[in-house]
Amino acid sequence: MFTGLCGCNGIGNPEIDLKDVKLEEWPLTDCSTSTRPVRDLVAYKLLGVPYKWEVDWMSGTTYIITPDFSSDESFSYNDYLAKNLCSGTHGAYMNLLEGKTDVIIASRDISRNEKASAAELGVALETAPLAIDALVFIVNPKNPVKNLTSDQVRKIYTGEITNWKEVGGVDHAITPYIRNADSGSQEKMETLVMKGLTMIDGTYMAEIIGSQMASPYMQLEGDEYGIGYTPFFYCTAMVRDLLKVDMLSIDGVAPSKESLRTKKYPFVSSIYAAVRKTEDHESMAYKLYRFLFTKKGADIIDESGYIAIDE
């Protein structure tokens, strides 16, 4: 049975103040690509590691939180990475189920496939929504279409709408970019947006399936007629101005922190924290998990660019 915490968001929840935490007692953590900044920010603050936001020199396509280990010789960045993985959404859940990590922050709750794996392994997880996110739809800035209805989005991704002129745009075929199976974005697309409808068959469009978070951005930069989807946080906090895309309004509501917080934007979702239900409540892993839902945890979430749940 999979249960989540109710109201564990710092409101009426006993404060758990983790101070002077050492790397040797730090639990094994894992995360999604889009939740790495908040996981790292929590870790750097609690471990006392200086940090700053800057462009990822390896990819040049996202901003990341970069630590500064020069002033502390007690452990290195490699030591840190050995205890703090980033395996992607599905990989993080599977590592938690298989006992390879102890606490995760993921872009969604456990999926149907992962629940099946959990049942096979005889493992149950404790999961809870940690912060607000959303699934947003992105297009090339040259595309004159700036708003779609929820129904139009669904019809594009079932193949019923195939030309931009059908939604007020130019007379040109739509290229609907999709994400790889088991990615956080794909799971949200199928459950939050499509709601059981069968999506276009990606097996016939292997060249446009996005296996990485940045894939749809890189495709859309050079494709005036494409459309893709991505987490709001990843687009606004990590990509920012590095890859030129526009977020579409849906049902006349533009995605913003305010429209997400008030749930006026239709495709609002959450990121989740999770531990195994058998985790010792005195362990550092469980203490860290509970800390995430305190007021201090919420402050770190807000600093990361996510929206802490405050009700």
**Does any domain span residue 62?**
yes
Q: Are residues 126 and 138 in the same domain?
A: no
Distance of CA 50 to the CA centre of its chain: 24
Q: How confident is the model at residue 211 (pLDDT cuts 50, 70, 90)?
A: low
Q: How confident is the model at residue 266 (pLDDT cuts 50, 70, 90)?
A: very high
pLDDT for the residue 81: 96
**Does any domain span residue 13?**
no
Question: Distance between the two ends of the chain, CA-based, in angstroms?
Answer: 25
Q: Are residues 150 and 229 in the same domain?
A: yes
Q: Of 272, 277, 310, 300, which Cα lies nearest the Cα of 89? A: 272
- According to DSSP, the residues that pair with 226 across neighbouring strands are 175
Q: Which residues contact 163 (CB under 8 A, 6 or more apart)?
A: 171, 172, 173, 174
**Does any domain span residue 42?**
yes
> Does residue 198 surpass a pLDDT of 90?
yes
Q: How confident is the model at residue 20 (pLDDT cuts 50, 70, 90)?
A: confident
pTM: predicted TM-score of the whole model, two decimal places: 0.85
Q: Are residues 38 and 118 in the same domain?
A: yes
Q: Which two tokens stand for residue 156?
A: 């594009």
Domain that holds residue 111: 23-132+269-308
Q: Are residues 117 and 212 in the same domain?
A: no
- CATH number, domain containing residue 57: 3.40.190.10
Q: Of 227, 225, 207, which Cα lies nearest the Cα of 217? A: 227
**Once rounded to an integer, what is the mean pLDDT over residues 83-91?**
95
**Does any domain span residue 7?**
no
CB 250 within 8 A of CB 70: no
Q: Per residue in 136-156, pLDDT tens? A: 999 999 999 999 999 999 999
Q: Are residues 141 and 215 in the same domain?
A: yes
**Does any domain span residue 151?**
yes
Q: Which two tokens stand for residue 8?
A: 């564990």
pLDDT for the residue 210: 62
pLDDT for the residue 100: 98
Task: State what percent of residues in the chain have pLDDT above 70.
Answer: 91
CA dihedral 262, 266, 267, 272 (to 10 degrees): 30
CB 213 within 8 A of CB 86: no
**Once rounded to an integer, what is the mean pLDDT over residues 186-204?**
84
Separation between Cα atoms, residue 292 and residue 49, nearest integer Å: 18
Q: Are residues 274 and 127 in the same domain?
A: yes
Q: How confident is the model at residue 71 (pLDDT cuts 50, 70, 90)?
A: confident
Alpha carbons within 13 angstroms on the beta-carbon side of residue 132 total 20
- The total domain count for the chain is 2
Q: Supply the angle between the helices 88-97 and 112-121 in degrees, to the nearest 10.
A: 20
pLDDT for the residue 11: 33
Q: Of 143, 137, 150, 201, which Cα lies nearest the Cα of 172? A: 143
**Does any domain span residue 138?**
yes
Q: Are residues 27 and 123 in the same domain?
A: yes
pLDDT for the residue 161: 96
Q: Are residues 215 and 274 in the same domain?
A: no
Q: Are residues 212 and 280 in the same domain?
A: no
Q: Are residues 127 and 273 in the same domain?
A: yes
**Does any domain span residue 78?**
yes
CA dihedral 245, 246, 250, 255 (to 10 degrees): 100
Q: Are residues 139 and 254 in the same domain?
A: yes
Q: Are residues 255 and 196 in the same domain?
A: yes
